[in-house]
Amino acid sequence: MVSSLTLNIDKLDKTIHTGHLKMGGSDRQGNRLDLTNYYLTLNGKPFFVTSGEFHYSRYPEAYWEEELLKIKTGGINTVASYVFWGFHEEERGVFEWEGQKSLRRFVELCAKHDLWISLRIGPFVHGEWRNGGLPDWLYGQPFEVRSNAPGYLACVERYYAEVGRQVDGLLFKDGGPIIAIQIENEYMHAGSPWEIVDPMRDGEWVPLGNEGVDHLKALKALAHRAGLDAPIYLLTAWGSPIIEEETLPVYGGYAYPVWVEEPQPSPYYLFRDGHAKPIEGPTHYVPEHYPLVYAEMQGGMQIRYRNRPVVPPESVEAMALVAIGSGSNWLGYYMYHGGTTPVGRHGFNHERLHPQLSYDYQAPLGEFGGRRASYHHLRLIHLFLDAYGEALCPMGTILPDNARAIEPGDVSAVRYCVRVQDGMGFLFINNFQDHAEMRDREDVALEIRTSDGLVRIPETGGLPIKRDVCFLLPINQPLGDARLVYATAQPLTILQYGEVLHYFYFAPDGLQVEFCFRESTVKNIDGGVEQHAVEGRVYTRPHIGQGHSLDVETASGQQVKITTLTRREAEHTWKGTAWDAERVIVSTADLLFTNGGIALYSTRAPEMSMTIWPPLDEAVAAADGHVEQANDHDRTAMQVSVPAKTVNVQVKPISTCKYQLTLSDDALDGLSDLFLEITYEGDTGMAFIDGQLVADNFYDGRPWSIGLKRFAPDVLKKGLCLVFHPLRKGVVKNSSSQLAGRCEFEGQEMLVVHSIVAVPEYSARLGRI
């Protein structure tokens, strides 16, 4: 039986204005960044911000550029990063800004690769860093931190002045990439342990602060005096005040919080009109005056010793899609790239509840730069935002009548909404929920009432909505001058070459794809499986896959091409500039667009294949590899192979808990990296080189992966010593299933080391012959 759901999108009560906010600014070249109450504008055009958190302090400087290119290729246009005060001023009055502490070099690299920056300067930032980022030496001073005490503000003023000197000339006003500065973090809401205090006495926490807006105004004035003058100032809005009109409130969303003992289904997978009422409801300001900014959506989660949830990649994608559907035009992830917390002069810089070094965060890009499934899942959304973000930003959210009645634990209701403007929009559907078991929905039909009449999706029958799946569908979308009434495929990206407009879609899991055109706007459609016309609309079912396309001739004679990829192909689709043209590439390998060409990266497999649009008009070559390419009508098919390599790890048991690993001197030769993959069951793992701790792990059911290139040549000369600790009775862990929640191992101590293997990462850089 088909369930019909109806939504009227003909009328939308929404007013876009700029009058309430005293923010924005121009650079020396006349470029201008401004804000409306719905979105940012860049040079007068709507600007959708896609932000990813990456801490320069937690990654070796030698690899910053490579990782920033991964971030950019993942579809991020803005990098957010904390500046940890205690990292730069461990000893009072002695600031360090060299090497891995070189904030300036990091910002310059972002500028080099056209990435904007949101700089989060504290002074308190949290970030699971020692003392929340505050230096140890502040603890014993005759004043309270996070207050307007003159002594504290004098220390902050000196710190801000140092940060200002480091980024001088790199702010937006100077033509630099820094468009936003966040002051403080979770003020009056969250603190952090003072690590200098003996934890055996239950420790002592950095105070939350209690001076409200007055303290935030004092910090903002100090930042401005230090030259930290950005078009936008940010403040976290959950439980915290903001400076009305002068600062932009930002929100977060964490569905697997380690600070909650028994997490329940969260509200972050329900569609709401977040512009009118954000999920984390404000108490200090009128939300309708501000764009909805999600600067801290979960990219993963940092595990704690007694709470180790595994965040499924479907949850990350679904939360992002729901935030967009709910009206957000700024989507930021914490973390987008994991890292390793460096050791300081006074001990480890971690917050004591977490691993001493690892800040992997289960992020889309992991601690050692590895790409996770969530990296590919999110790129589907980011490609869409790059292509359609300007049109999406002014669209308001329309909810079904029952939306407010749906609770997070309701697994039976269909969760959907539409963002729309002037009859054009996108339908958002989500069937994922944390800490609940959703079910497959069969035969759901949606009836959308528009000014042009009723649109039924699909034409006949219903949509099967699979559990844990989310997707978005276009409504009244222009394809050139043709009008697509709807499609049961998700828009991915757009490419123009010559006279051709090429649209890429993909088939969400479980959906049968059909395209419905307004008949008066198309002259001919070729390449489909089946086609028919009914009451002024043309329905076409395409072949699915990168080798097929629909060729559409519009009523005016314009040429439009549509390729509908599988979901798997879409997850491995990339867009960027290579060989003097913008290109779309479907690849079995991971890509970076660099130096006018591309670099391929493949874990385990030395053979890589690509399909490239538009076709190449010249031959390319790979250093130390073999390339075969052939043009097939509108695309190039390419096969790339590099020499295969097997790396053996010699494992010498020292005891049941300790193992010494030895690698050959040439283990890394010819590879971009070598990952040690350790499968074990236990409590924790630690890795040492010549007695120095270099990596650690809290067991959570997933293999422990260590990238070795950063440790060369020491790891090749001295080997690696692994030390494991048994899982003790009563130690809490979270299984890899999102439903299993917290559980305890009963009985005796348990430690099993199943396997230790070396996994090669191959690479090939393609350039002109």
Which secondary-structure segment (H or E) carries 321? helix 313-325
Which residues are 247's β-sheet partners? none
Give the model's pLDDT for residue 279: 72
The whole-angstrom separation of Cα 397 and Cα 7 is 12
* DSSP label of 256: S
Amino acid letter for position 317: E
φ and ψ at residue 82, rounded to 5 degrees = -75, 150
Give the model's pLDDT for residue 288: 79
Amino acid letter for position 304: R
The whole-angstrom separation of Cα 39 and Cα 392 is 10
Give the model's pLDDT for residue 350: 96
**Contact between 599 and 765 (Cβ < 8 Å):** yes
For residues 592-615, one letter each, b for 16 or more C-beta atoms within 10 angstroms of the residue's C-beta and e for the rest, the string is bbbeebbbbbbbeebebbbbbbbb
Round the CA-based radius of gyration of the chain to a whole number and report it: 26
CA angle 36, 160, 347 (to 5 degrees): 120
The three-class DSSP label of residue 222 is helix
Q: How many residues does the chain have?
A: 769
Using CB atoms within 10 A of its CB, is residue 137 exposed (0-12), middle (13-18) or buried (19+)? middle
The whole-number mean pLDDT for each consecutive block of 10 residues of the chain, a chain of 769 residues, reads 74 71 92 95 97 98 98 98 98 98 98 98 98 97 98 98 98 98 96 88 88 97 98 93 93 94 95 82 69 94 96 98 97 98 95 96 98 98 98 95 93 94 94 96 88 88 95 96 97 95 97 97 96 96 97 96 98 96 98 94 97 95 92 94 96 96 97 98 97 97 97 98 87 44 50 96 91
Give the model's pLDDT for residue 19: 65
The whole-angstrom separation of Cα 363 and Cα 303 is 12
**Contact between 446 and 427 (Cβ < 8 Å):** yes
The whole-angstrom separation of Cα 412 and Cα 653 is 52
The three-class DSSP label of residue 90 is coil
The three-class DSSP label of residue 664 is coil
Give the model's pLDDT for residue 443: 82
The whole-angstrom separation of Cα 134 and Cα 86 is 5
* DSSP label of 140: T
Amino acid letter for position 608: M
The whole-angstrom separation of Cα 328 and Cα 321 is 10
Cα–Cα distance list, 225 to 159, 218, 222, 505 (Å): 12, 11, 5, 49
Six token digits for residue 274: 């977040």
Cα–Cα distance list, 533 to 340, 522, 525 (Å): 59, 11, 12
Interhelix angle 103-112/150-166, nearest 10 degrees? 40
The three-class DSSP label of residue 629 is strand
pTM: 0.96
Give the model's pLDDT for residue 113: 97
From the list 149, 158, 287, 293, the residue with the least C-alpha distance to 211 is 149
The whole-angstrom separation of Cα 267 and Cα 270 is 6
Six token digits for residue 494: 């757009």
Count of Cβ atoms closer than 10 Å to residue 712 Cβ: 14
Which residues are 371's β-sheet partners? 365
Torsion of CA 303, 308, 314, 316, to 10 degrees: -20
The three-class DSSP label of residue 242 is coil
Amino acid letter for position 530: E
Using CB atoms within 10 A of its CB, is residue 384 exposed (0-12), middle (13-18) or buried (19+)? buried
Cα–Cα distance list, 450 to 332, 511, 539 (Å): 32, 23, 19
From the list 464, 470, 435, the residue with the least C-alpha distance to 271 is 470
The whole-angstrom separation of Cα 738 and Cα 212 is 38
Give the model's pLDDT for residue 199: 75
Sign of the dihedral defined by the CA atoms of residues 297, 299, 300, 303, in that order: negative
E strands along 309-421, which residues? Answer: 330-334, 339-340, 343-344, 347-348, 358-359, 396-398, 415-421
Give me the half-sphere count of Cα atoms (radius 13 Å) on the Cβ side of residue 560: 24
The whole-angstrom separation of Cα 463 and Cα 164 is 55
The whole-angstrom separation of Cα 493 and Cα 584 is 9
Amino acid letter for position 740: A
The whole-angstrom separation of Cα 452 and Cα 79 is 41
Count of Cβ atoms closer than 10 Å to residue 407 Cβ: 11
Sign of the dihedral defined by the CA atoms of residues 12, 494, 43, 24, in that order: positive
From the list 341, 322, 290, 476, the residue with the least C-alpha distance to 408 is 322
**Contact between 68 and 113 (Cβ < 8 Å):** yes
**Contact between 86 and 135 (Cβ < 8 Å):** yes
Six token digits for residue 209: 């602060």
